[in-house]
A and B are shown apart, each in its own frame.
Chain A
Amino acid sequence: MSDYRDHIPIVISDFNGLWDRGDRDNTPLDHFSDGENFKFKGSNSISTRDGIGISQDVVLPLTNVKRIYNYPTNTANTLIALVVTAAGDGKIYHIVNLTTVYLILTITGMTDFAFAHYAGRGYISPFKTFDVGGLNVEKGLQNEFLYVYAGDGTAARKAAGSPMSGAMTIANGAAGHTDAGLHIFAFVSESISGYLSAPGQNKSFTTLPLSSVSFGTVQASGSSLIAKRHLVATKVITNFNGDLNGYPFYFVPGATIANNTDAFLNDISFYDQDLLEDASHLTDNYSEIPAGAALSLYHERLCLSTTYNNISLILVSSPGEPEAISQIDGLIDVIPDGNPITNHAELRDIFYVTKRSKTVAYADNDDVPSSWLPNSVDNSLGTSVHGIATVLDSGSSNVDYLFVATYQGISLFNGRYITPELSWKIDNIWGNLFRNDFRLIQMVNAPIQKELYCVMTDRRLLVGNYTNGMDPRKICWTVYRFDQGVNTIAIHNIDEIILGSDIG
């Protein structure tokens, strides 16, 4: 008789993806001990993964693509990508659609970049990996800066800017009014991206009570990106000490040259009580913002960290003015411990800052950033430079949680790291990733597909399907392998998964 007599068949009706933790023999019957290139269909079926197609229909498609981010401009959902040439130049392209690509920035030595978008503009910070005693450290390029891109195909420009220089002439104008006495006058330039420079062309002048003031030979900025120049002035100074930069400046209402060409501004009348909008803080701003390895937005502020010279410093802009970062009180000094800041993101009104194995929280107290106090969240878990998943086009968190790639696995973070980690089922796969290469990990969350995509250090794509629930035991894992390998990922137009491949 057959050995199979009385054999009770085992029916497997569910396929719940990979299980790679502990002993291989303990793999549950509804899981796979190994597998690649299968996807989940519905709640319990599998099939071969979807194929990939090209994403550019141009004569010269981008090659050796190192990094891709999604970039929502004011008019479209687009991509921004870094390629590195054979000569070692990092080139950043704005991919508008299948056929339109703009080269917007070239920086020698750039192997990666941080990106944030705000009001349609893109903010770009070039960085690379440094070997510090065998440990890979990502920080901003030396002698490089934050750049801002208008989103229209024009070249990105260095963010912020220097005050205008040169000498202007001041004379009494037509009949008008001022508070008589000595004032210091200056001009503030405004770039096309709205950045206001520090006051320049400072000059003192004693006004008369019944006369307006007129300005001549007002210098134009050397930059073609300056759109306007605003007049600023001090209130009457009674005992002038000769320091043209040492008094508070205020914007003079209505006193703007609406171009960068006119050399005059005539017949300006104002009283000191009209000087309400303070311009003094502009003097403290960075005129050029050093490049860092991480960029994010928090409460309408642009946050940049891990510069070449300080791996523990976060530069935080004024609200709504991403390029206005005070060198005095726009800084957060995360307690130095030898480890660089790797990432930061906003969740539920809190600003979370990570190192590779630490997480710290800050809260906006409506005062300057340097007054924000740190709160230690976790002293063992953190993440890498691309280790926080982006969702759709937001560039950071999901509604109520973050996906964070920690050394223990992919974790859900809602103010604390939830255990067991989401990648609990595939602990061995995650454990085999080379920690020093965690910078290569990049994740996106596609809630439409209910899938989490994670580029791993070995250039494969880890996919977690949470159709059955966002739970470590219910999520289904698979791995996609591609002939060319993938090293970067973005999500585009709600649910289109974009993959980037370099040469090696």
Chain B
Amino acid sequence: MGTFKFKPFAVFTRDNGSENWGQQAVAYPASDAQCVAGANNTNGAAELYHGNTTAASTGKLVFLGRWYLDGSSTPLDINSLPNGFIVNSATFTIKGGNQWIARPGDHYYVTFANRVEEEIPHAASSTYTVIISPVPSSLAVDALLVLRLDKTAVDGNQGFYNLIIDGTYSLWSFTYAIDTPTVNTIGPSNKVRLTSTYPAANALNLNGIVTNGIDNNGNYNALSDTGIAGIGLTWINLAGVTKYYFIPIRYIGIDAVKAGFDPITPVLLEFEIPPALALLIWQDPTIPGWPNVLVTPYIYGDGTQFSGWVALTPLTLTLVDASGVYKLVKDKTNDTLYNQIAPISTSNVKIPNPFIKTGFIGG
């Protein structure tokens, strides 16, 4: 998930009615956040779109603008938008003062490029109109915004002022799901494996990953990459405060053995629920459902391809406090651990898999 702002810098009008105002309008924003649209002039004083009460008078405003992602001050052109860019929600704010009067019978449609137009619900106001999405999920790709004004949209010699469009977006290629565990209850030191879910062709490109070796599970440990900054884990305590723990990419295993850094192959990410996370949660016993804690993982882009985040299905983290004083017992064939969360108990668990690898090939 990321945030965007679409800042129009020009607007074109086209009508299919009988009146003669279907000319190209030239509009220049007073600032990045504004768009002033007026017919045949640059100050918006003259009419842009003279609607009337006849059904035939419909028209279309086509805004040409730039995209700014995730608070960046550097715009992206259409061709630079990330693969699989999809608008999840958008807010259209038009603050035209008393020159913009929405009518209850108006209809507003929006589309990006040549996609299907879909109607946006809106509220009527005598002074301004705020149109709030959610935008239908089928909207996708490209940067041209087309606003179709049906019937009466602008009354008299009026125009648009201060058009601001912002909202949230996500990337198809950056959609991950929890691969394992198949049950959503996990504990500290358990491993969580994530896999991209969208068709492989849109998987995040990890060609730039630099690794520092292979861990015990055959996964590469990334030192840096061109796609992922890390994984955030958040939870909310009883006071309603959102707590946060971030696992940098260097602590995340990337299944490059299978993927071979091939962006066509789904990318698998693996991380361990860090004991430090358990400590943070343990230090905040005001968590609802204690000792079970609902933790939502987020995958964060590093800004090269994507600087937003993707939220995953929440996991139930079950705290198992096995801290305490132990002793090695000669010839004992299992480990006996405390569970220090009331009711305090002990449990016998197997000794974590003993293994050896020889120097032979394949050993």
Query: Please, which residues of chain A bring their CB within 8 A of the CB of B333?
Result: 48, 51
Query: Please, which residues of chain A bring their CB within 8 A of the CB of B280?
Result: 504
Asked if A499 contacts B357 (CB within 8 A), the reply is no
Contact string against B for A residues 30-41, beta-carbon threshold 8 Å, 1 for contact and 0 otherwise: 011111111000
> Measured between C-beta atoms, what is the minimum distance from B127 to chain A in Å?
54
Asked if B322 contacts A61 (CB within 8 A), the reply is no
Asked if A48 contacts B326 (CB within 8 A), the reply is no
Query: Please, which residues of chain A bring their CB within 8 A of the CB of B277?
Result: 504
> In this complex, what residue of B is CB-closest to A57?
B346
Query: Please, which residues of chain A bring their CB within 8 A of the CB of B338?
Result: 54, 61, 63
> Measured between C-beta atoms, what is the minimum distance from B358 to chain A in Å?
6
Contact string against A for B residues 346-360, beta-carbon threshold 8 Å, 1 for contact and 0 otherwise: 100101111111111
- Given the interface contacts A26-B359, A33-B358, A481-B352, does A53 sit within 8 Å of B321 by beta carbon? no
Q: Does residue A155 face the partner (Cβ distance < 8 Å to B)?
A: no
Asked if B340 contacts A61 (CB within 8 A), the reply is yes
Is the interface on chain A under 10, 10 to 19, 20 to 34, or 35 or more residues? Answer: 35 or more
Asked if B283 contacts A86 (CB within 8 A), the reply is yes
- Given the interface contacts A29-B359, A50-B330, does A65 sit within 8 Å of B335 by beta carbon? no
- Given the interface contacts A51-B333, A54-B346, A63-B323, does A503 sit within 8 Å of B352 by beta carbon? no
Asked if B351 contacts A51 (CB within 8 A), the reply is yes
- Given the interface contacts A50-B330, A498-B325, does A504 sit within 8 Å of B275 by beta carbon? yes
Q: Does residue A271 face the partner (Cβ distance < 8 Å to B)?
A: no
> In this complex, what residue of B is CB-closest to A17?
B356
Query: Please, which residues of chain B bring their CB within 8 A of the CB of A27?
Result: 358-359
Asked if B278 contacts A503 (CB within 8 A), the reply is yes
Q: Does residue A483 face the partner (Cβ distance < 8 Å to B)?
A: yes
Asked if A63 contacts B321 (CB within 8 A), the reply is yes
Query: Please, which residues of chain A bring their CB within 8 A of the CB of B334?
Result: 51
Asked if A19 contacts B346 (CB within 8 A), the reply is no
> Measured between C-beta atoms, what is the minimum distance from A134 to chain B in Å?
16
- Given the interface contacts A54-B336, A54-B346, A484-B337, does A35 sit within 8 Å of B356 by beta carbon? yes
> In this complex, what residue of A is CB-closest to B277?
A504
Contact string against B for A residues 125-159, beta-carbon threshold 8 Å, 1 for contact and 0 otherwise: 00000000000000000000000000000000000
Asked if B354 contacts A483 (CB within 8 A), the reply is no
Alpha-carbon distance between A481 and B358 when the two chains are bound, in angstroms: 19
Q: Does residue B208 face the partner (Cβ distance < 8 Å to A)?
A: no
- Given the interface contacts A33-B359, A36-B354, A51-B336, does A503 sit within 8 Å of B325 by beta carbon? no
Alpha-carbon distance between A28 and B358 when the two chains are bound, in angstroms: 8
Number of A-B contacts (CB under 8 A): 171
> In this complex, what residue of A is CB-closest to B274?
A504
Q: Does residue A203 face the partner (Cβ distance < 8 Å to B)?
A: no
- Given the interface contacts A51-B333, A61-B344, does A483 sit within 8 Å of B283 by beta carbon? no
Residue from B327, B335, B353, B358 in contact with A482 in the complex, judged by beta carbons closer than 8 Å: B335
Query: Please, which residues of chain A bring their CB within 8 A of the CB of B322?
Result: 483-484, 501
Alpha-carbon distance between A496 and B279 when the two chains are bound, in angstroms: 29
Asked if B216 contacts A34 (CB within 8 A), the reply is yes
Alpha-carbon distance between A317 and B360 when the two chains are bound, in angstroms: 58
Asked if B325 contacts A483 (CB within 8 A), the reply is no
Q: How many residues of B contact A (CB 8 A)?
A: 47
- Given the interface contacts A54-B338, A484-B337, does A65 sit within 8 Å of B323 by beta carbon? yes
- Given the interface contacts A60-B344, A483-B322, does A55 sit within 8 Å of B327 by beta carbon? yes
Query: Please, which residues of chain A bring their CB within 8 A of the CB of B344?
Result: 59-61
Asked if B340 contacts A483 (CB within 8 A), the reply is no
> In this complex, what residue of B is CB-closest to A19?
B359
> In this complex, what residue of B is CB-closest to A32?
B356
Asked if B326 contacts A502 (CB within 8 A), the reply is no
Q: Does residue B241 face the partner (Cβ distance < 8 Å to A)?
A: no
> Measured between C-beta atoms, what is the minimum distance from A214 to chain B in Å?
56
Asked if A32 contacts B327 (CB within 8 A), the reply is no
Asked if B282 contacts A56 (CB within 8 A), the reply is no
Q: Does residue B183 face the partner (Cβ distance < 8 Å to A)?
A: no
Residue with the highest number of chain B CB atoms closer than 10 Å, among A26, A46, A485? A485
> Measured between C-beta atoms, what is the minimum distance from B136 to chain A in Å?
45
Q: Interface of A with B (CB < 8 Å)? A: 12, 15, 19, 24-29, 31-38, 46, 48-56, 59-65, 68, 79, 81, 86, 88, 95, 459, 481-486, 492, 496-504
Q: Given A54-B338, A483-B337, 12 other A-B contacts at CB below 8 A? A: A12-B358, A33-B358, A50-B329, A50-B332, A51-B329, A52-B329, A52-B337, A56-B324, A60-B344, A501-B323, A501-B326, A503-B323
Q: Interface of B with A (CB < 8 Å)? A: 188-189, 216, 274-280, 282-285, 321-338, 340, 344, 346, 349, 351-360, 363
27 contacts between A and B (CB under 8 A): A19-B359, A27-B359, A28-B359, A29-B358, A31-B359, A36-B352, A38-B356, A49-B354, A50-B329, A51-B329, A51-B333, A51-B351, A52-B329, A52-B337, A53-B332, A54-B327, A54-B346, A55-B324, A61-B324, A61-B338, A62-B325, A65-B324, A79-B325, A484-B189, A503-B282, A503-B321, A504-B274
